[in-house]
Every structure is written in structure tokens, then in C-alpha cells.
Structure 1
């Protein structure tokens, strides 16, 4: 998530991150920062100090009230006290303008690796601070992790990819059939029950919710 008043810089960062196979987006609506943050649940935030209405320090503080997502400040206000203030407000790193895009991407990748302990070729999905590590068949929540079977991973992957909606039982089963996991409605229900039990053991009660007569979804934010 890129919070940047300079549209040229925001677009350049988005384009460069996309080349590296990251999903990146920026906002020009500076009245809806927290709403967008909650909706998109980004793995990392890039934020300028100088912004309309409220500055980057303010938004960093607001984000820190609800999330420990890594934050990098990008700003031309790069005096020593600006950097100190950013770190004190909860930032993880600081990039001074003007900057080299290659160096900025390297810093972003390094911070993501330190935070999530992923290799660059790993894929992961996030919802409400819960991370699905598909390549490793693992799910991470805070300091806890749980191992997944291939079937459990594919079920969760469908729910994570459609986290803002419910996924029909049929759609989940089609996905599993396509991956040679031959499963019927009863077997799906058994897998969901087992997943719920495993999730509860790491503090994720009611993480998977049921839409009666239709299918399943993920717990929605407050």
C-alpha cells in the first residue's frame, strides 16, 4: 500500500513493484486511509511524511493502533529529526527522496523477508493478520504456525483469494478436483471441521464461517 501525495512517484513505485510480481496499489483519497488499509490488509505500507489533511506521522500512529504491518517512510524531509520521528512513531525503515528505484525495491524485499521469513519466490496471502504460506503448506498467526495438508491448503487458498465474500461448496470442490484431490460434499465438511479445530488451537476461533446452504468464508473485520 503506497500513501504518497506525489502521483508520479506513487505510480513509479507501483509499476516497479508489479515488475517484481508484487501486488501494489496506491491511494489518492487521503480522507479514507484507515478504511482502505482495513479493506486491503496490505503486507507493507510505504508512506510519505507530507500529505494532505494529516501527515504521515499521524497515519503511521493510527496504523500502529491496529497492526504491526511493516512501514517504510519515503520522504524528502530527511533531516535527522525527521528520521528519528518516523522510527519513534513506529516505522521500520526510511528512504530519502530522491531515491533509486532499485535500492527502494531492495529495501522493501529485505523488510518483507525479515518480517515474514519468506523467500522471494514464496507466495503468501493475508487476512486479518493471518498469513497463508501456500508454498510451505503452513499458516502463520502472530508467533504461532500450523502445518497444512494439501487439501487444507487448497481450501484455505480459495477462502483467502475471495476473503471479501463467501465461496460456494461447489467452487471449492471444483478447485480441489482440478488439483487431483477427489472430494465430495461430505469429505469437504470433514476437512472444514478439522481445519476449524486446528485453527482454534492457535487462537483462531471462528476464523472460517459458514453461510448456510451455500458455502464458507473468512471471519470479517470489526
Structure 2
């Protein structure tokens, strides 16, 4: 069974989530000490973390930054704050998705299922995809070029996988959102934009940034050097 760690200090919301997750046969745990959040997450070894923003000690952005130094576990932010700019900040900090309170538990479960499924698919032993002399290892979400390698998040790896598979062709925003976020029904386009910006920064480390071309209003293309 999949394991969910809940970083949320509202007992009513926590109780509702625990009850819902039990129905779906998830194993869920909540924080017992707000001074040892990261230790508790690591000891529980979850498949996904649900992270609130406003918390008793440090906020969710702090804990996400701390966790990202140690783990690539998927993180969904849950907050009463408005979608922007907190969604942008959450994704930039390393979150994989974002949901605003009040929310439907069915929508939350759908998001959890989509993120866990995407993460497990990325973890399957699959082939290495290539684009010219660049290699993307699906198993580890690692991009290599010569002696340089860049570690991507599962979401970034999924985006680059689509671009590699469709090199030279337009990959629409709709295609990306449907693939990454289970049809893209519960996600803002701004979240995709932030992920693309973060991916571009990592592509710059292997001189691939300028090869990812934005076609405004449509989507993105990974182009050959002679197309620039």
C-alpha cells in the first residue's frame, strides 16, 4: 500500500484526510513533533508528502527546502493561501503539485494518485532516451551530456521525456498538463510555467537551455542546433 505523510496542523482537516485515506487503503501518518518534521518523514519513508504552508514552527516552504536536500519524494502543497504567488513559490521550492483549501477530498485523492503513478512510472527500469548527444535516464530522471549530469525531479523528467520523444515537434501545453497532472483538470497553467522555468535552469548546466523553444500560446519544441 502507498504511504502518505501529512504535514498539516489543523486537526479537523487532518482527521478528514486520515479517514478518506483509510477508505482508499493508504497508510497515512501525521506530524507528532513540529521540531522534528524531517526526521519523522524520513523514518516513515512515504510515497508522497502533503505539505501545508502555515505551520507551528517553520512554514511549509522551509520544510520543503530541507526535505529536497535529502529526498526526491513527491510533495503536494495544501494551503488556504491564494494560488498565486504561493503556487509559484511552492513549485519553485520543489513541490510537484498544489491544492487550495477548501478542497474536495476526491480531488485531493485524484492528485495523489496522479503524482504517485507518475513517480512510479519514472522509477520503472526503462530505456535511456537520447537527443543528439544528450541522454535522459528514465529510471533516475538524470540528464547526461559528456561528463556532466543533471538530476531532475519526476515532473521535470516527465516534461523532458515528452520533449525527447517528440524532438523537433511541438508539444502543446495541453499535452504536458494532461500527461503530468491526470488530464490537467485541477492545475493552473502557471504551475506548468514554473516547472518549465526550473527545467530551463537545469538545462543551462548542459548547454541545452536555448534548444528548448517556446511557441507562445501553444507549447514547446526541442530543436536541433541548426534550427536556432
Please give the TM-score of this superposition, normalised by the length of structure 1. 0.53
Aligned pair count reads 125
Asked which structure has the greater CA Rg, the reply is: 1
Question: Could you tell me which residue of structure 1 aligns to residue 96 of structure 2?
Answer: 92
Tell me the equivalent position of 1:17: 21
Query: 1:88 and 1:96 mapped to 2: Cα distance?
Result: 17
User: Do structure 1's residue 6 and structure 2's residue 29 form an aligned pair?
Assistant: no
TM-superposition CA deviations, 1:175-219 (whole Å, max 9, x none): xxxxxxxxxxxxxxxxxxxxxxxxxxxxxxxxxxxxxxxxxxxxx
Q: Secondary structure at the match of 1:98?
A: coil
Q: 1:114 aligns with which of 118, 121, 126?
A: 118
- Tell me how large the CA RMSD over aligned residues is: 2.2
Measure how far apart 1:68 and its partner are: 0.5
Aligned equivalents of 1:99 and 1:13: distance in 2? 11
State the distance in 1 between where 2:79 and 2:141 align.
32
Q: How does 1:59-78 map to 2 (within 5 A)?
A: 59-78=63-82
Instruction: Name the structure 2 match of 1:34.
Output: 38
Q: Unpaired segments of 5 or more residues in structure 2?
A: 125-138, 143-228
| Structure 1 residue ranges, 4+ long, deviating more than 2 angstroms after superposition | 141-144
C-alpha contact 1:70 1:92 (8 A) present in aligned 2: yes
Q: Is residue 16–residue 101 contact of structure 1 (8 Å, CA) maintained in 2?
A: yes
TM-score (norm 2): 0.51
